Structures are given as structure tokens and as C-alpha cells.
Amino acid sequence: MGKKIVIVGAGHAAGQVITLLKQKKYAGEIILIGEESYLPYQRPPLSKKFLANKLAIDRLYLKPTEFYDDSTIKKYLDTKVISINRKRKSVELSNGEEVSYNKLVLSVGSRVRRLNINSPKLHGIHYLRKIDDVISIKSELNKKKNIVIIGGGYIGLETAAVTRELGHNVTVLEKDSRLLSRVVSPEISDFFEIEHARNGVKLKLSTSVIDFYGDKRIESLKTSNGEIIPADIVIIGIGIKPNFELAEDANLKVNNGIIVNDVCQTSDSNIYAVGDCTIQPNEIYNRNIRLESVQNALEQAKIAVGNICGESRSKTQVPWFWSDQFDLKLQIAGLSDGYDKTIVVGKPSDRSFACLYFKNNRLIAADAINAASEFIMSKKLIASKKTIDTDKLENKTIDLKDLIEGE
């Protein structure tokens, strides 16, 4: 039997694995197995340009369809992997086939977190995670609608911005007392609250949904405050859950994600895992981390393919993320949980500033809004792990550029 790599999942990480294998002239067969009917595509534009009708569906694909016509690539779309047989080094597919592998790459991603509401199933209630989700939502945006978005995180706020710009009446329900509460400081939350309100989005904080009403189709919903809100469309964005059950059933080590080492190998050295589904040691933060980002998916794909091809491991990069809302670009460097001090650089009133997060006088994260240079400098400082005199930075005796040049 010749060399064969089987990739389970057809998301961003999977697409990058295939691209890198081809770049490195991998001589064996590559088999891609995906549950959706689409070849690997980008998810971030789904709640941004694709929803806004500013990006055609073919522009979502990571590579043109012709790229996958290579004779060494075999595709199984609309196909689910039922189980992994580690002893036989094979996977069982939903179509009844058994596919063998030399190396297996799990790029199984994540799924939406669902509302726990015992209400009848009504048309017009959507989750936003896949291409088909957005196609379904867009089919209902043919005239001005009352749209209620449940969840004040990145997906919810990006969707609110797009649908508001399309001319719809938009209300956002967030169960916590501020927007983006799990990932940003109160200063950033306050800024986005002001911006969304200024653009006509109705925000209801400390509010959750407890029931939906309608005859076959959603007509209204009831909130935890007892309010009845008219709703022609409901879009739910309350987070995601990693898909690790396939690995768990194969007795691979898991812990709210598939546990991998520094080269993305699972507890079985012939099985790798990449992307949202993984939890991996991070040398910058000295702990195990599960990241939900394109940057992480791409980096892990690079590390896994490098290891498969016998190359040395590349250096860990600082995690980064981004979010587009109205004319605002939020760029996030690092992970802010556990911070003990924040410093705001610039003025929120200028709509171009950054919030820096420190722990024990070390920069651990930064949120930069329309401030690309601060974002880039912050990434460098986070990676350096240098101790910073935060009093001087706060008093403007020094600035970020001084800290970079002083390295």
C-alpha cells in the first residue's frame, strides 16, 4: 500500500493541510472527507461580506475547484466519518466504505452552541455557522424585516452591523451586562455599545430569550424581562462547541478538545488534529489552550504538515483575531484572560485606539480598533515577554514604539 493521508473535515485547516502537502510535493494519496457539500472555504466572511452580498460564493473557497482535480486528491463530500479504527488504521464512512490511512488528520472543527429552549420549531430561526446557514438567512432578507439577534459576541455583533446596514430593524439580546464580556475589557464593551446604538441597533443587555411564538413561522419572542419583541427573523450566535467526540470514541485523549502535543499529534502518533477542535500547549502563555481562530488553524496545519514531512517545528505565533463591524476593524492580539491592569492608548472618541492588557507588568493582549500599528507593535511585545514599566506607559513617559525600539 502506498502512502496515504486521510483528512477528516473540510474547513480552513483542512484546506491548508492539502495546500501545504502539495507545495511540499507530498508523493502519496490525499483523501478529503467533509460533511458539507462544499470544498474547504473561509468562515470569517460568512457573517461579514458574504452576508452583505459583497462577496460571491466562489470567492469563499480557499482554492479554485480545479485545484482539487489533481489525480492524487480524492474527495468525499456530504460524507461523515462514523468511527476510527486505530488498530486497522482506517475510518468508517457514512456511505458504508472503509478508508485506510498511514496518517490521519482530524480537522473536525466545531459546531454551534444551541439554545436550551423548549419551544416549537418555527421557520425563520437561524444559527450562523455554515454557507447554507447564510444562504438561508439571505433568502429571507428580501424586504425590511424585524431581526432579533441572540448573542452579543463577535458573530452577533457582526451580523447586527451587516443587517442594520442592509436597512433592517435590528435588536440584539445579550444575557450578560455588557457586550463581548468574555473576551474584552469594559472599555471596549462600552465603545461597541455606543457605536451600535449610534448606528440604530437596539441593545438589550442582561436579557435572554425564554420563548418563541408563531404559527409555523417566528412572529415574536419573549425575553427574561417579560418583554414581547416582534421578530420576522431570529439569528442565534451564542458560541461554539469543539467536535471531539470522534476522537473520544477512538480512545484518544480529550479535554473539551482533542489534546495534541507541540507538533499537533494526538495520543496516537499516527493521528494529528488541527483547528478549533484541538487543545495544545502554548509556550507564550505556558498552558494548554484551545483557540477558535483562522490564524491558529493555519499555524497548526503548517506544524502538522511539517512534522509529517520530517521538518522541524516552527516557532509559536501570538494568537490573533479580528472583527469587522460597520467601519470599525477590531484586531485582537493575544489572550486577555487573567489580566490585572489595562491601559488605553489613544482616544475612543477618535474611533482609533487600543486597549492593552497586562499581567504582572507583562503585555498579554491588546484590542486595537482602527489602529493597525498598535496591533502590530503589541504582537511583538507579547511575543517578547518583556517586563514593562506600565506607570511610564500610562503617564505617556514612554510609548509602544519606545518599547519596541528598546528591545
Pair 129, 231 in one domain: yes
One domain for residues 217 and 138: yes
**Domain endpoint, select from 261, 276, 308:** 308
Identify whether residues 225 and 269 lie together within a single domain: no
* Judgement on whether residues 234 and 160 belong to the same structural domain of the protein: yes
Q: Which residues of the chain have pLDDT under 50?
A: 1
Put residue 89 in one of left, alpha, beta given phi > 0 → left and psi -120 to 50 → alpha.
left
Same domain (yes/no): 62, 136: no
Q: What digits encode the pLDDT tens for the residues 129-172? A: 999 999 999 999 989 999 999 999 999 999 999 999 999 999 99
Residues 98 and 17 in one domain: yes
* Residue 366 within any structural domain of the chain: yes
Q: Are residues 296 and 357 in the same domain?
A: no
Among 308, 343, 361, residue at a domain's last position: 308
Residue 61 domain flag: yes
Count of domains observed in the chain: 3
Asked whether residue 207 falls in the same domain as residue 282, the answer is: no
Does residue 320 lie within any of the structural domains?
no
CATH of the domain at 176: 3.50.50.60
Asked if 100 and 11 sit in the same domain, the reply is yes
Based on the fold, state whether residues 210 and 224 are members of the same structural domain: yes
- Judge whether 255 lies within some domain: yes
Q: Per the domain annotation, does 150 fall within a domain?
A: yes
- How would you classify residue 158: left for phi > 0, otherwise alpha for psi between -120 and 50, otherwise beta? alpha
Residue where a domain terminates, one of 198, 223, 238: 238
pLDDT in tens, 32-65: 999 999 999 999 999 999 999 999 999 999 999 9
**pLDDT of the residue at 2:** 60
The whole-model pTM stands at 0.94
Q: Is residue 253 part of a domain?
A: yes
- How far are the Cα atoms of 55, 363, 391 from residue 395, in angstroms, in the given order? 44, 16, 6
Q: Which domain holds residue 282?
A: 4-111+241-308
Other Cβ atoms within 10 Å of 39 Cβ, number = 21
Looking at residue 312, its pLDDT comes to 81
**d(C-alpha 232, C-alpha 123), whole Å:** 9
In a domain, 360, yes or no: yes
User: Does residue 120 form part of some domain?
Assistant: no
| 138 and 279, same domain (yes or no) | no
Are residues 131 and 231 both part of a single domain?
Answer: yes
